Amino acid sequence: MARDSSATKARLLDAAFSEFAAYGIAGARVDRIAEAAQANKRLIYVYYGNKEQLFDAVLQRALETGSESVPFDADDLPGYAGAVFDHLVAHPALMRLVVWKQLERPGATDAEGASYRGKIAVVVEAQRTGRIDAALDPADILTLVLGLSQAWFGAVGGPAAGGAGTGWTPERLARHRAAVVEAVRRITAPPQDTP
C-alpha cells in the first residue's frame, strides 16, 4: 500500500488540481499540495518535474476528461452549450482552472489548437448543410457559444468562489441554463426556422 507509486502520483495530481483551481499557479503552494496528498514534497519533483509542469499535467488531464464527457455536436449547438454549461456548473474547479490558465499561461497548446480547428471544420460543414445559419463566421459562432456557456461564471453573485454552494439556487441555475440554450438557438438557427 505504501509502495504504490502510481497511487501516490494520482493523489498528488488530485491535490494539485484542487490547489491550482483555488489559488492559481502563482498562489498555489507546493507544500500544501504535498500535505493534502499525504505525500512528500520531494515526490512532486520526482514525478512531475516542478510546479509549472505539475500544473500542465493537471490541466491536461482536466481538459481530457472534460472534452470526453462533453462531445462536440455542431448539429445541435444549443444542446452542446447546455451540456458544456452543465459540466462546468458541476465542476466549478475546472472552470476556475481554465480561467487561471488563460491568465497565467496565455496561448493555446497544440492539442487545444487541433481541437479548435476540428470544431471549426464541423461547424463549417453544418453551415453547408443548412443546420447552422451560414451568415456568421464559424470561429465567431464557436467563441460566442462558449462565451454564453461560461457567462454565468463572471456574473454578479455568480459562483466564482470555491467549490459548492454559491448563491445561485438550483432554480436560478436551471432558468439560466434554459436562457443559454435559447440564446444559442436564436444565434445559430438558420433563417425561417420557425415554420
The residue (of 40 and 102) whose beta carbon lies closer to its own copies is 102
Q: Residue 73: which residues within 8 A CB-CB, separation 6 or more?
A: 79, 80
Q: Which of residues 42-71 bind DNA (CB under 7 A)?
A: 42-43, 45-46, 50-52
Of positions 16, 39, 144, 148, contacts DNA by CB under 7 A: 39
Least separation in angstroms between residue 95's CB and its own copies is 10
E-strand spans in the chain? none
Reduce the secondary structure of 10-64 to three states and give it as a string: HHHHHHHHHHHHHHHHHHCCHHHHHHHCCCCHHHHHHHHCCHHHHHHHHHHHHHH
> Binding partner of residue 75 among its own copies, DNA, none, CB under 5 to 8 Å per kind?
none
Least separation in angstroms between residue 191's CB and its own copies is 9
How far is CA 92 from each of CA 3, 60, 86, 178, rounded to the nearest angstrom? 33, 16, 10, 19
Residue 22 touches DNA, criterion: CB under 7 A:
no
Residue 29 touches DNA, criterion: CB under 7 A:
yes
The residue (of 7 and 108) whose beta carbon lies closer to its own copies is 108
The residues binding DNA (CB under 7 A) are 2-5, 7-8, 28-31, 39-43, 45-46, 50-52
